[in-house]
Structure 1
Amino acid sequence: MKSATRSFFFACLLLSATAQAETVILKIAHFLPANSNAHANVIEPWCQHLSEESEGRIQCQLYPSMQLGGTPATLADMARNGVADIVWTAPGYSPGKFPRVEALELPFLLPYGGQAGNEVIWNYYERFAKQDFAPFKVLALFGDGGMDVHTRDKPVKTLEDFRGLKLRASSRTIAKTIEALGATPVSMPPAQMTEAISKGVVDGAMAAWEVVPPTKLNEVTRFHSDQAGQPAFGYTVLTMLMNKRKYDSLPADLKAILDRNSGAALVERFSTAWDKYIADARAASPEASITVIEPQAYQAIEAAAQQVSEQWIAEMDGRGIDGKALVEGVRQLSSVGR
């Protein structure tokens, strides 16, 4: 009997040791190339840190540039369905699926910068938007640092300068903002906008400085707007989403490692990388190419874009969501952040 008990005891130890030694592979997919800021300066180092902290038991397989197939618009579904374990994507690429997050992309609400904007975005997610992401384990929610107007042939300094322009838009909210300002929005993935500008298909892009180097946007545009410390034209909200079943299948100790290195901690990684990249991208552009929008002109542009927020609030009301409360929530958090 004692021998049987000892055998059972050692079998349990062996099973426990085997479970502890299990290696977990995380397939991570996203839409930008491997030389992008997110991939090279955040996702790769983050994966390396997970590997080191887990003593090699967490390993990442990275699939940039949509190497697992699909389009940027399908990335969220790829995570939900288990095609990828984790995706880095923009909720706005899947219109209507993450309605509460759209409040963060409305014009002239969020401050520029990774650190400043992302503190608001993460706090907003925790207070107002968790319901949107119920099918996922949310590892991070943050922003692109705020958008400027990058144009090929003429600077944009006033509301009148927008008229007649065709500008690339990253989401439906940004498209509506561009339209409200008198320009024509053209939706396309980041990888296509440089060629479209060089061929004259569009006159420029409303985009964050962070995408300028990897897309070579600076090679086809000569003018870049600057709002002199005022809130941004708009934002693209970005997120890292994990398949819930994959997360739930992790051993408890690996879950703890992932939890320690996601959420606010991962948002901080993105914030630091974004601020450095934005500063470097701006510094690499000639000073003469930066066109400052003066306060009076800025106020006229902001007033013209107000209709975008009003229309969005009405749309949310139609879906049974209190859009006005969400916009006020962003404003309050932005004010506190400043």
Structure 2
Amino acid sequence: MPRRREVLAALAAAPVAAAMPLRRARAAEVTLKLHHFLPPVSNAHRNMIEPWAKAVEAASEGRIAVEIYPSMQLGGRPPSLYDQVRDGVVDVVWTLPGYTPGRFRRIEVFELPFLPASAEATSQAAQRLYEEAFPDEFPGVKVLCTHTHGPGAFHLRDRPVRLVGDLAGLKIRAPTRVINRTLELLGAIPVGMPVPQVPEALSKGVVDGTVLPFEVTRPLKIHELVKYHTVFRGERGFYVATFLFAMNRARYESLPEDLRAVIDAHAGIGLAKRFGRAMDEGEKPGIEAARERGNTFIEVAGDDLADWITASQPAVEEWVAAAEGFDGGALVTRARELVAEYAG
């Protein structure tokens, strides 16, 4: 993780063209620097982060300006984003809590296997459970929303995976410790890394495959690096990763009351729902790109799916048993209830 002064220096030295400021009708009173790790062609940038910034600017009548810095343009690596926003190096970030393993334990509940539904449903469940059960999970920041991507799939270079046993010995990239442990229990060799590193790892054979939602596969050209995609056809997906969209707490509290109200109006469960829906809608282009390339799709259902669910349950049991300072079993139960409520 870069030192604070190094990141500040990068911020000060970053050329104006590096940021992606949005048009505004009047001089802004407040400029928010928003930092994230994906490229500007990504679904998250184009259909979540940028629309949020435009909406905030419009609602503030130009008094708030938002400058978006994608692809870690202000320095550091994806795991440093939370500390950057907490420390006030940047104003807003979009990141994964799981990029710092074990630090944010309670939000991990949504990453347990075969718990999630669609991104829209699971994102609302995640935001609601955060508000209900652990509003102190993210110190130093104003949580704009938590959310998830849609249920992830396997993407394999050379070996198809249908049965649980097919994973044996395969090096599979995963984003967080919970998902890594699930893969390990299923017989794979988990390799943790942030998503921007995945294309190179696949192209060089560092990993045999990866778990990802299709939403991010097209901008990263994952479909050009693999031959096989394994998807799960049940009521609940194999896994999701959780995301955090957050603002520096002191920066938020320094705003005039009416501008804090603007931020509040563009935060919470409504924002989680919109972000989740954008994640769901982003799946189709990734699937289409893989099909157009002629890649093979493997659908896991019926008895094969039941075997996957059974084999992955020790990951849930371990997570519950390892919970410290909170009731892991109660959190799993409530997460499942909320997912079911929003999935309908």
**What TM-score results when the alignment is normalised by the length of structure 1?**
0.89
Give the match for residue 83 of structure 1: 89
User: Does the 8 Å CA contact 1:121/1:142 hold for their aligned counterparts?
Assistant: yes
* 1:254 equivalenced with 2:259 (yes/no): yes
User: Does the 8 Å CA contact 1:227/1:298 hold for their aligned counterparts?
Assistant: yes
Give unmatched runs, 5+ long, in structure 1: 1-20
Give the match for residue 208 of structure 1: 213
Q: How many angstroms does 1:22 deviate by?
A: 6.3
SS of the equivalent of 1:265 reads helix
User: Does the 8 Å CA contact 2:155/2:226 hold for their aligned counterparts?
Assistant: yes
Query: Where do 1:136-215 residues align within 5 Å?
Result: 136-215=141-220
Give the match for residue 118 of structure 1: 123
Aligned mate of 2:286, from 274, 281, 288: 281
Residues 116-125 or 235-244, more deviating: 116-125
* 1:304 equivalenced with 2:316 (yes/no): no
Deviation sequence 1:198-232 (CA, Å, 0-9, x none): 22211110111111012111111111112113312
User: Does the 8 Å CA contact 1:37/1:274 hold for their aligned counterparts?
Assistant: yes
Matched to 1:310, the amino acid is E
Give the match for residue 314 of structure 1: 321
User: Does the 8 Å CA contact 1:157/1:294 hold for their aligned counterparts?
Assistant: no
Give the match for residue 14 of structure 1: none
User: Does the 8 Å CA contact 1:97/1:132 hold for their aligned counterparts?
Assistant: no
Q: How many angstroms does 1:288 deviate by?
A: 6.1
* 1:263 equivalenced with 2:268 (yes/no): yes
Matched to 1:332, the amino acid is E
In structure 1, distance between residues paired with 2:111 and 2:134: 13
In structure 2, distance between residues paired with 1:328 and 1:272: 24
Q: How many angstroms does 1:64 deviate by?
A: 1.1
Aligned mate of 1:56, from 57, 62, 85: 62
User: Does the 8 Å CA contact 1:107/1:234 hold for their aligned counterparts?
Assistant: yes
SS of the equivalent of 1:47 reads helix
Q: How many angstroms does 1:320 deviate by?
A: 2.4
User: Does the 8 Å CA contact 2:173/2:198 hold for their aligned counterparts?
Assistant: yes
Higher normalized helix content (fraction of residues):
1
Q: How many angstroms does 1:142 deviate by?
A: 0.3
Give the match for residue 32 of structure 2: 26
User: Does the 8 Å CA contact 2:120/2:274 hold for their aligned counterparts?
Assistant: no
SS of the equivalent of 2:107 reads helix
Between Structure 1 and Structure 2, how many residues are aligned? 315
CA distance 1:171–1:252, shift in 2 (3 Å): same
In structure 1, distance between residues paired with 2:75 and 2:92: 14
User: Which 4+ runs in 1 deviate beyond 3 A?
Assistant: none
Residues 118-127 or 165-174, more deviating: 118-127
SS of the equivalent of 2:136 reads helix
Residues 97-106 or 191-200, more deviating: 191-200
- Which has more radius of gyration? 1
Q: How many angstroms does 1:284 deviate by?
A: 2.6
Residues 324-333 or 123-132, more deviating: 123-132
**What TM-score results when the alignment is normalised by the length of structure 2?**
0.88
Deviation sequence 1:163-183 (CA, Å, 0-9, x none): 121100101111001101100
Aligned mate of 1:104, from 99, 107, 110: 110
Matched to 2:67, the amino acid is Q
In structure 2, distance between residues paired with 1:86 and 1:284: 32
Matched to 2:133, the amino acid is F
Q: How many angstroms does 1:84 deviate by?
A: 0.7
Q: How many angstroms does 1:239 deviate by?
A: 1.1
Deviation sequence 1:105-132 (CA, Å, 0-9, x none): 1111111x22122122222222223121
Coordinate RMSD, CA, aligned? 1.5
User: Does the 8 Å CA contact 2:114/2:239 hold for their aligned counterparts?
Assistant: yes
Q: How many angstroms does 1:197 deviate by?
A: 1.3
Matched to 1:24, the amino acid is V
Give unmatched runs, 5+ long, in structure 2: 1-26
